[in-house]
Amino acid sequence: MIKIDLSGKIALVTGASGELGRVIATVLAQGGADVAIHYFRNRERADRLALEIKKLDRRACVVSADLGEAASVRSMQKEVEKELGAPDIIVNNAVSQYVWKPVLEQAIEDYESQFQTCVLQNVLMTQTFVPAMIRKKWGRVIAINTECAMQNFPTQSAYVAGKRGMDGILRVLAREIGPHGITVNQVAPGWTISERDRLNGTEQQPDYDKNVPLRRRGEDIEIAHAVAFLASDLASFITGTYLPVCGGNIMPTI
Ligand SMILES: NC(=O)c1ccc[n+]([C@@H]2O[C@H](COP(=O)([O-])OP(=O)(O)OC[C@H]3O[C@@H](n4cnc5c(N)ncnc54)[C@H](OP(=O)(O)O)[C@@H]3O)[C@@H](O)[C@H]2O)c1
């Protein structure tokens, strides 16, 4: 039987206090990885997740950082290495909150914060954590993008700018660090059902669902499964990809 086996691996998931990050961290732990749980302001959710992961008999630690600040990311690295060791897998998932506005009205601060959490996060996480992967000759850089990066719909400009910016960095990075046995991939969710929707009963969005070839929104666990696959040896020859997990709502051309 083929199975995803991440035992012996250490994963760091940024934004693991958030909706998708929490499920990604849990699924990586279910696959056998020890997990560092990054949060920004919501320590309580991170602590709760750490308890759940420890119940799976995996090691877990909780760390905080502003991912747009080099010093903050470096101090997170020290904590993770002290608690668990150097990560083999990083999942760059965090994103700052976004206000949907037309370009004519979008605040400059929104462009800056998307640049920080999309572009700079990926640069700083790479510069901080990839050197140890190079030493181990094995590593996984997985970043969470979005279907919006291909849709370019009104009010998405700052978000799309950040996500397209990180896409450029990650494609270059895949070429640069591939020779060291490290893969670099992006997972691009559609508008995804998470715990918040389940609590609010907002899973179905008919105006959105009707245009999706699979006629529904994806579930958080379906995003997490794609991440776990890319983290595993089953995806050993996949790098530089942008993998939509959106029921076919976008289809990158070849
Ligand atoms: N949800 C969707 O439908 C969807 C669709 C497409 C793509 N995505 C992508 O999936 C990823 C996760 O989305 P989500 O919906 O799960 O987001 P979310 O629930 O809003 O969580 C965002 C996470 O990022 C952290 N964060 C915010 N600002 C930060 C900063 N300046 N520095 C460091 N961390 C920061 C938050 O930490 P605290 O809460 O601890 O402050 C939180 O853990 C994002 O990259 C998003 O673009 C999501």
Pairing mode, strands 182-189 and 60-64: unpaired
- pLDDT tens digits, residue range 130-155? 999 999 999 999 999 999 999 999 99
pLDDT surpassing 90 at residue 171: yes
Q: Is the CB of 185 under 6 A from ligand 1?
A: no
Catalytic residue annotation:
159
CA of residue 98 to ligand 1 center, whole Å: 10
| SS3 category, 26 | helix
Q: How confident is the model at residue 158 (pLDDT cuts 50, 70, 90)?
A: very high
pLDDT surpassing 90 at residue 254: no
Cα–Cα nearest to 29, from 9, 45, 14, 1: 9
* Distance of alpha carbon 13 from alpha carbon 22, whole angstroms: 9
Is there a contact between 141 and 126 (Cβ–Cβ < 8 Å)? yes
For a ligand 1 pocket test, name from 92, 95, 99 the mutation site with the most ligand atoms within 8 angstroms of its C-beta.
95
CA angle 215, 18, 52 (to 5 degrees): 105
For a ligand 1 pocket test, name from 14, 19, 193 the mutation site with the most ligand atoms within 8 angstroms of its C-beta.
19
Biggest distance spanned by C-alpha atoms of the chain: 55
CA of residue 162 to ligand 1 center, whole Å: 13
pLDDT surpassing 90 at residue 179: yes
| SS3 category, 121 | helix
Q: How confident is the model at residue 253 (pLDDT cuts 50, 70, 90)?
A: confident
Question: In the chain, where do the E strands start and end?
Answer: 10-13, 34-39, 60-64, 89-92, 139-144, 182-189, 242-245
Q: Is the CB of 21 under 6 A from ligand 1?
A: yes
Q: Is the CB of 247 under 6 A from ligand 1?
A: no
Q: Is the CB of 60 under 6 A from ligand 1?
A: no
242 Cβ neighbours under 8 A, 6+ residues apart: 145, 167, 185, 186, 188, 252
Q: Is the CB of 66 under 6 A from ligand 1?
A: yes
In ligand 1, the atom with minimum distance to the C-alpha of 45 is: 40
For a ligand 1 pocket test, name from 12, 20, 193 the mutation site with the most ligand atoms within 8 angstroms of its C-beta.
20
Per CATH, is 10-245 categorized as 3.20.20.70?
no
pTM: 0.98
CA of residue 6 to ligand 1 center, whole Å: 24
Cα atoms found within 13 Å of the Cα of residue 91, Cβ hemisphere only: 37
Show me where the domains of the chain are located: 10-245
